[in-house]
Every structure is written in structure tokens, then in C-alpha cells.
Amino acid sequence: MKTPIRVAVTGAAGQIGYSLLFRIASGAMFGPDQPVILQLIEAPIEKALKALEGVAMELDDCAFPLLKGIIQTADASIGFKDANWCLLVGAKPRGPGMERADLLKDNGKIFIGQGQIIDAVAAADARIAVVGNPANTNCMIAASQAKRLPAERFTAMVRLDQNRAQSQLAKKAGVDLTAVQDIFIYGNHSPTMFPAFAHATIGGQPATKVINDDTWLQGPFCETVGKRGAAIIAARGASSAASAANALVDHVRSLVTPGAIHSVAVKSQGLYGFDANVWAGMPVRTTTAGSYEVITGYAMDAFAQSKIAATNKELVEERAFVADMIA
Ligand code: NAX
């Protein structure tokens, strides 16, 4: 029997948490022979903690053979203690009339605190995946507090955007989803993100040739992927939850699977025209179960460059809003 992996999850009683925890406990994230201990962290709000109790009861009722323990807490220093993975899902939602700068600052406070605590108490091999929005900048903020854990351990999720793009390309080409490969998301998890269709392949052929409709690729395709979150809210009356949880399972699973090629928001290091100190979606190859490298060398045409410039501008602006907090 392997040693259990400790997985800390913030926002555990939220919508995404409710889809996510059962997948982790069933083995979907770390594999069918890897036991896990769930360390569930909620905001110190009575209603949230009560809801968390209910979620933990349901986890018990699933009798998952791989689930070796559940911690429920509002204290991050207990929740992140010895965690091997820290999944930062909880965040303050944007309220009516709230400015983006205020949202960034309010979440900044949460992610500064969590970054410091993770750095102090999580396991030596701890890795962090941020989902709570604005995910890229929240990830940058948390990473800015780390003295012990290196920046590459902090990633933000753009996998939902990749999955959405893959699905849209498959539908348009009328092929099975698995025929679509190498569709990567560059930049921010926001409508400015860029799904780089020019490098995607469909059945081994360039997607641009198979689809043969640049107007659709540059227009409706990019827009549909970028605004899919809003479309889900309009249709469902609530934001994406099951698909977001599924994408986080994919994000982590791919990061622990050597050879996996996928989109991850990482510290940009100045690649592909991004500012060096923003967290931007990039193509990544997992090298070992604990490390990855950014895939370099994809050529960007004028259209791609303009899209990357726009999403980079937004990331730089977001960083400017919180500059005083992370300096
Ligand atoms: P919910 O509002 O249902 O749940 C969030 C939970 O986080 C709540 O239970 C709340 O009490 C908790 N929370 C708030 N502050 C906390 C703190 N400091 N510590 C611990 N828990 C805290 O939101 P949900 O639909 O689950 O979405 C969670 C986050 O994911 C949101 O920020 C949302 O915008 C973001 N998303 C990100 C996506 C991505 O692709 N990166 C896609 C889906 C989703 O929109």
C-alpha cells in the first residue's frame, strides 16, 4: 500500500468542491492505487462549515477504499499542514457593482495569507494549483510569498479552456474528440485568453487545413472558448462547476504523468512575448511525476502575436492593481 497523498482543498464546500472531492477520493486524480487524505478548508463562516460537514458525511457514505482520512477546518495552518497538493479553489466572488481592482485586492489578501501558510507548513514536495479567480494573478500572489517552495510549483488552471477548445474544434471538424491534439491556451483565464489553433492538429493534420475556415477560427472559435464561462452562467444560472472540477482533475493528473502535454498557467519567464513575471497559460510537457518544462519554439503569426499582446496586457494590468501588496 502506497503512502497516502495529502490533498488540501480550499473552498471545499463550494460548487466546484462538491464535484471535485468525490473524483479525488475515487482515484481519478492520482490513480486507482494511490490512497489520499483530504484536508478540507473553508472560510470561517458558520454556514460554509456546516455545509462542509455535510460534504464530509457524503464522502464517508461513499466508502471510497482510497480515502484514508478527512480533515475539516477553517484554519489554513491545519488544512495545509504537510499537504503534498494544495488545490486553491476558494475565492471571493465578484459582487454586484464591484470593480475588478477591488476583486483583485480582496482576493489578493486571501492568496497572500494562503501563500505564506503553505510555504510555512506544507510538505517539502508541495505543489499548488489555483482555480479561484482571477486564477493567474491569485497564483502569482501566492507564489510571491514563498521563500521555501520554488515558483514552478505554483500553477494556475487553464485546462478548462483547453478542454473547451478541444471540444469546439472536434465538433466543427465533425471528428471524435480524441482526434484533436496540441490545442494550447496562452495567457489569462479570462475572455482574453488565446487558444492557439494554428498549432493544433486534427487526425494528425494541421487543424487550420482540416477546418479550412480562418474567419471561424479567428472569430467565433476564439470567442466561444473565451466567453464559454459566461454562456454557462446564462444557460445554467450558475457558473461552471462539474467541468471546472473535471479540468482540475485533468490539470493535476497531467502534471503527475510523465510525457503528458497540456496547457498550464506558469511563471512566464518572458516566453512567447509575455512579461517575465506574470503567470500565463503555456504549452507544458510533464518530464517526471514532479516536474515539467514549457514547450518552446512554437512560431506565432501576426494574429497570434496580437492576441498574446492583449492577454499579456491584461495580466500586467492585474499585477499593477496588486503591486503594493506583493512588493
Ligand atoms: P462557490 O462560491 O460555490 O465556492 C467557493 C467556496 O470558497 C465557498 O464555499 C466559500 O465559502 C469558500 N471560500 C471563500 N474564501 C475562502 C477562503 N479564504 N478559504 C477557504 N475557503 C474559502 O464557487 P465555485 O463555483 O466553487 O468557484 C470557485 C472559484 O473557481 C471561483 O473563484 C470561480 O470564479 C473559479 N473558477 C475558475 C475556473 C478556472 O478555469 N480557473 C472555472 C470555474 C470557476 O468559475
Active-site annotation holder among 189, 199, 251, 262 = 189
pLDDT at 97 over 80: no
Does residue 11 have its Cβ closer than 6 Å to ligand 1? yes
Task: Determine the distance separating the centroid of ligand 1 and the alpha carbon of 17, expressed in angstroms.
Answer: 8
189 is catalytic: yes
* Any atom of ligand 1 within 6 Å of the Cβ of 49: no
Q: What is the CA(138)–ligand 1 centre distance, in A?
A: 12
pLDDT, average across residues 305-318: 98
Could you tell me if the CB of 130 is within 6 A of ligand 1? Answer: no
Q: Kindly tell me if the per-residue pLDDT of 98 is higher than 90.
A: no
Domains of the chain, earliest start first: 5-156 (3.40.50.720), 159-323 (3.90.110.10)
Angle at which helices 302-321 and 135-144 pack, to 10 degrees? 50
Q: Mean of the pLDDT values across residues 195-213? A: 98
- How many whole angstroms separate alpha carbon 225 and alpha carbon 191? 8
Region 302-314 average pLDDT: 98
Entry pTM = 0.98
Q: Where are the alpha helices (DSSP H) in the chain?
A: 15-26, 46-62, 76-79, 100-121, 135-144, 159-173, 207-211, 214-216, 222-226, 228-236, 242-255, 302-321, 323-326
Ligand 1 centroid – CA 90 distance (Å)? 4
